[in-house]
Structure formats: C-alpha cells, structure tokens
Amino acid sequence: MPASDSGPLVWTEDLSVRFGGRSVLNHVDVAVHPGEVVTLIGPNGAGKTTLVRAVLGLVRPSGGHVRRRPGLRVGYMPQRLTVDATLPLTVRRFLALWRPVPAERIETALEEAGVARLADSAVQTVSGGEMQRVLLARALLSDPDLLVLDEPDQAVDVHGQAELFARIEHVRRHRGCGILLVSHDLHTVMARTDRVVCMNGHVCCHGRPEDVSRHPEYHALFGRHAAELAVYVHHHDHAHDESRKIVDGHDGDCCHG
C-alpha cells in the first residue's frame, strides 16, 4: 500500500510473529491513518502488545511486513513507568532525561497534557492519573505523527480516565496525529475510538465500534452483555480543578441522567 497524504501512517501486511515454537500473531492486517483513533481489544495473550511492539520496530516479524511512512515520527506511552522513590526528580527533569529538550517544549507538552502545574513537583508525589498525563507529555515531545498508547488508562480511576482521554482527544484534534491505542476498558473504547480491532492471535473482527459490538466474534470473546456497554458517548463541557470542583464550562452539577 503506497504512503500518501491521504494514506496510512503505518500499516501491517499479513503480519505474523512467533516466539520460539509459539505463534502469537497470525496474518494481521491493521492500518492507522492521520487523525484517527484505532483501538486494539482482546483477552490477555491476544497479541495486542506484541502488535504494538512490532509497529514500534521492537519485534521482528516471522512473516509479513510492517510498513511506515518515510520519516514517520512516533510518540510512545507505556502502560506504566516506575521511578525510584529515592531519586530527587521533578516532572520537568524527568521529561528531559531521554534527550536534550528546550524548556519551552517541555512547558508546551505539559500544558497540552493538562499537567503544567506539576512541572516542579517531585515525580513520586503525583497521582496515578497525573503520571499518565505526564507520560503523555513525554510522548508529545517527539512531535509525533503517530501516538502509540499501551493501556494508558490502566490503574487510573474513572475521573482520571475521563481527564486523560479528553486530553488525548484534544491532541488528536489539535495535531491531527493518528493514535494506536490498546485498552481493556470496553466502555471507554467504544465511546472514544473511530475503529476497533478485536484480536485473539489474529484479527477476529474490525470496524466502527457500533458494528464490532454486534459481531459474533466480539460476543464470543466478551459475551453478549458487552454489547450493552457499547456505544455510549458522554461529553463533559467543563473541567475540574485538583479538588474536582468545576472550574469552567458551566455552573451546577457535573452531569446527571
């Protein structure tokens, strides 16, 4: 598939991966275009993280190919990153560990991720949800065409998930980058993605969330009740401060129904 302005940023062709004698991925075709969110779902051991690692060039295919646009810039956000509690490290210094980065770029990335106020905080003192947004800021420092997010909402509470995904959506709209996302949260996935790829060692089904939620393979993996979770989209028209009070948008209740 040729790369063009309207073509994909990255795509796999008949991709297979084996570790030793064990097959992990079989004949997988996936593509991510600019400005779209593609989410990988599936049970543990389905090959989601292996596919991500192949896209990042960290795993060599046993068969097929991973194709990327020439000069593609990728920002990667891992599931989690643990910092030694004894290190005297601020968020600002943490973001500068991997490469020399101008101070203004760090400030911009933190602002875009919604955690500019944490720049001089010790990394060890930020909450789980805040740390995920710091990792999002770290991924943005590469000025990515493609963001790869491996379970960014893991171990984050419901409020933190909402804030994180609101920031991810802002990044997608503001930068026009493609996003490849791995998640176990079916409700979040179905509400906040353009295309879903349901995996179990191979691509079981794929398409728009509302279509995938009706597919027999989806029901076989997650149960028919899972379709009841999809596809509800909830929009907040306001933001919260650190005490979770509404700080802009409108007065009154957060939401009800």
Fold of 1-73+146-235: Rossmann fold (3.40.50)
Position 256 pLDDT exceeds 80: no
**pTM of the predicted model as reported, rounded to 2 decimal places:** 0.81
Q: Quick check: bond before 231 cis, omega within 30?
A: yes
Q: Where are the domains of the chain?
A: 1-73+146-235, 80-143
Look at residue 127 in the predicted model and tell me its pLDDT.
87
What is the sign, positive or negative, of the torsion defined by CA atoms of 91, 130, 33, 173?
A: negative
pLDDT tens-digit series, residues 31-62: 999 999 999 998 888 999 999 999 999 999 99
Look at residue 227 in the predicted model and tell me its pLDDT.
54
